[in-house]
A and B are shown apart, each in its own frame.
Chain A
Amino acid sequence: MKFRGKIIDVACLNHFTRVVTTISKLTKICVLRLTPDNLFFVLSGKVANGGVSMWCELSQANFFDEYQMEGVSSEDNEICLEVTPENLSRALKTVQNAKAVKLKLTKKHCPCLTIAAELPTLSSISRVVTHDVPVDVIPRRLWHEFKEPSMPDFDVSIYLPPLKTMKNVVDRMKNLSNFLVMEANLNGEMNLKIETDLVSVTTHFKDLGNPPWGDDASQDGGPSQSRDPEDMAQARVDIRKLQQFLMGQQVNPSKAMCSKSPTAARPGALQAK
């Protein structure tokens, strides 16, 4: 198993750092999957009881100038590691002004993801800072747990309003109730509702736009054509989990989509691109 990547471009480094920082806000531990073309950050939580699962796919070419890896074997050309994203985030944040940052899989006192950066200095010799982030190698027999989740069959998919706005609303609502009902329809309307014994509050969003799923032939689900556009699909979520997702967002997505499925037992998915 070998992995070695180098980031030279400042903007790429910055973007990568922000992605890792976003993930570190969502979860303490997650899985990093390395393939020849991509990096994945995966969290497979228990989704049935309102747990959170996360899947983040990064194309390595977008970030790395050099990227070389050799997986466990030639048939399974992947590496799966359990990492604490906060450590990665901390290491990356301090090297934003580096000339070059290298990520390598190494074996120090234990398997580590080493982040080595060359920092600019006034002298002829660069300052080198090394961060060794301990990781756990995940054996092949557990890899099936971290496969790409299929998009659940959903009724409605909608683009979210600016996440900052949504975060403000959700933050205020958190003081009043633990659960929030999100409803949306195919007309680009979305409501966030809370209801308690004393008070009920609803925030309405209009003209949000719905993503055109019809074009994606590979998608399993898709809104049923016979659905009334005014018909709202509802989902009840734990406000704290929603808040966690909104708080972590540092990436400024151009699109954030929310897809709701009919029954409470099926997960809804929030996707940021």
Chain B
Amino acid sequence: MLCICVCVYRPVLAKAIHSLSRIGDELYVEPQDDGLALRSVNSSRSAYACFLFAPLFFSRYTIPSGHAFRCKMAIKSVQAVFRSLASLEKTVEKCHIGLDEKKNRLTFTLHCKHGLLKTHNLSFQDSESLQAVFDKDSYGNVFRSHPRLLVDTVVHFPPSLEEVTVSVSDERMWVRNHVEEEDRSKSMLTELCLASDEFDHFAVTTQNSVTFCLKELRGMLVFAESTGLPVSMYFDEPGSPLVLSVTDSVLEGNFVLATLSDDSNHRKNNSRREQTPPPPPNDDFMDDDMDSYLIAMDTSIAPGPSATRPPTPPLAVSTYSKQPAAANHRSRLIAEEQEEEEEEEAELADSAGPPNKKFCSLFFGSVLPPSSQTSTQPVTNQEVLASDSEDDEQ
């Protein structure tokens, strides 16, 4: 059975492939009724991307009827076809993609100027379906902006940074780097605050924070910025995935990132979480009080490190040192929270392994979660996200 897609070459095709290559090593191709789906997932299954090119993207789109077909191949081979974006743009006029199921071959034929034809034959393997199930429209927090806003935000964080935490309130979004408890005294903490009117759309139903891996986000932003399309961000509770979406009339790109499951908060009473909402924004940047920046040389009531609550503004520091009596109540509550959080963190920290192990299994039920998480992982996560796995799974 042959499957043929022909389109006038558009750079977005090559950009999508390069973007997918930043996620995983393999490209999953699935011609569907609603378009050609190109997908990729990372090895720890904590990041997934899918580009759906609608039939209208192509001048000809023929797929076998009634027969679901999917394959996967090394993404490096496909990247080699679309290696130099600049020269592709100058020379390629038409792109012909052919899938031959019998010969297990995917053929890219680039029709270039002056009658030149470049044909690339790639072989593929059959694969199970790769589909993360998520319903972004049901998520409480939705934002949309020009990609430049997000690019300007991530530039403040070093390229080597693993994880960021995004917290939202009704009017603000805070982005800061996530640092493990042990590293706190050595690492630099960076925090950026964005106002709601910098976004085209800013809707918050639950004020919470999610933590996810920055590296995969960057790949997506490169794509979005080069196409100039607005980026939509959807997220909900910590633990349920964060979705970034880029759409135009013929293309839909979704990047789904796992977020850190906030186990300690799930275990405790919900009401306690509400006692530490994100702090009011500090708009008086220029006129802050000198006394707020006091550093006491002698011992004073030093606020303990906080694991999940958003950082206190400078004014709160003076509260701690100047009014110990009043602050005791609050700090005691927080201390209790932290004790439990620290216990929880210690538990997780014991399971030595790659840093993104905590993000595992938030997507696909087929992957075994690390043992330390099995007992604390809320069941709801696994219910919502399930893999459409085939029989032939290793």
| C-alpha spacing A106/B186, complex, angstroms | 15
Contacts of B297 in A (CB 8 A): 1, 72, 137
If over half of B's interface residues share one DSSP class (helix, strand or loop), that class is named, otherwise mixed; here it is loop
Binary CB contact string for chain A from 126 to 137 against chain B (1 if under 8 A, 0 otherwise): 111111111001
Contact A109 B295 (CB under 8 A): no
A34 to chain B, nearest CB (A): 12
- A18 at interface, CB cutoff 8 A: no
Is A107 in contact with B285, judged by CB distance below 8 angstroms? Answer: no
- The answer to whether A127 touches B195, judged by C-beta atoms less than 8 angstroms apart, is yes
- For the complex, give the distance between the alpha carbons of A213 and B190 in Å: 46
> Which of A3, A72, A90, A137 gathers the greatest number of chain B CB atoms within 10 Å?
A90
Interchain nearest-CB distance for B179 vs A (Å): 9
Chain A residues 82-134 with CB under 8 Å of chain B are 87, 90-91, 94-95, 100, 102, 104-112, 116, 118, 121-134
Chain A positions within 8 Å of B197 at CB level: 123-125
User: Which residues 299-329 of B sit at the A interface, judged by CB distance below 8 A?
Assistant: 302-303, 305-306, 311, 314, 317
A4 on the B face (CB < 8 A):
yes
A104 and B198 CA atoms in complex are apart in Å by: 27
Within 8 Å CB of A132, what residues of B? Answer: 188-191
Tell me if A2 counts as interface (CB < 8 A to partner B): yes
Q: A126 to B285, Cβ gap below 8 A?
A: yes
Chain A residues near B189: list those with CB within 8 A: 108, 112, 130-132
Minimum CB–CB distance for A218 against chain B, Å: 34
Binary contact track B188-227/A, C-beta < 8 Å → 1, others 0: 1111111101100000000000000000000000000000
Query: In the docked arrangement, what's the CA distance between A210 and B295, Å?
Result: 47
Chain A neighbourhood of B286, CB < 8 A = 100, 118
Query: Does B184 sit at the interface, judged by CB under 8 A?
Result: yes
**Partner among A106, A118, A126 whose Cβ is within 8 Å of the Cβ of B293:** A106
Do the beta carbons of A129 and B190 come within 8 Å of each other?
yes
B191 touches A130 (CB 8 A): yes
Q: Which B residues are in CB contact (< 8 Å) with A134?
A: 185-188
Give B286's nearest chain A residue, CB to CB: A100
A59 at interface by CB-CB < 8 Å: no
Any chain A CB within 8 A of the CB of B86? no
Distance of A113 from chain B, by nearest CB (Å): 10
**Chain A: how many interface residues by the 8 Å CB criterion?**
39
**Which of B188, B194, B303 makes the CB contact (< 8 A) with A90?**
B188
CB <8 Å contact, A105 and B293? yes
Is residue A62 within 8 Å, beta carbon to beta carbon, of the partner chain? Answer: no
> Which of A72, A94, A107, A134 has the most chain B CB atoms closer than 10 A to its own CB?
A107
- The reply to whether B290 and A2 form a contact with Cβ atoms under 8 Å apart is yes
Q: Which residues from B are CB-within-8-Å of A68?
A: 290
B198 & A107 in contact (Cβ 8 Å cutoff) = no
Whether B66 sits at the interface, judged by CB under 8 Å, is: no
B186: chain A residues within 8 A (beta carbon): 134
Question: A106 near B198 (CB under 8 angstroms)?
Answer: no
| Contacting pair A2 B194 (CB below 8 A) | no
- Shortest distance in angstroms between A130's beta carbon and chain B's nearest beta carbon? 5
Considering residues B185, B189, B317, which has the most beta carbons from chain A within 10 angstroms of its beta carbon? B189
**Contact flag A123-B190 (CB < 8 Å), given A100-B286, A111-B295, A129-B156:** no
Q: Which of B185, B190, B194, B296 contacts A130 (CB 8 A)?
A: B190
Query: In the complex, A122 Cα to B311 Cα: how many Å?
Result: 26
Can you offer 19 A-B residue contacts whose CB atoms are under 8 A?
A: A3-B293, A4-B290, A72-B297, A95-B156, A106-B314, A107-B294, A108-B189, A111-B295, A112-B189, A118-B286, A123-B195, A123-B198, A124-B197, A125-B197, A125-B283, A127-B192, A130-B189, A130-B191, A134-B188
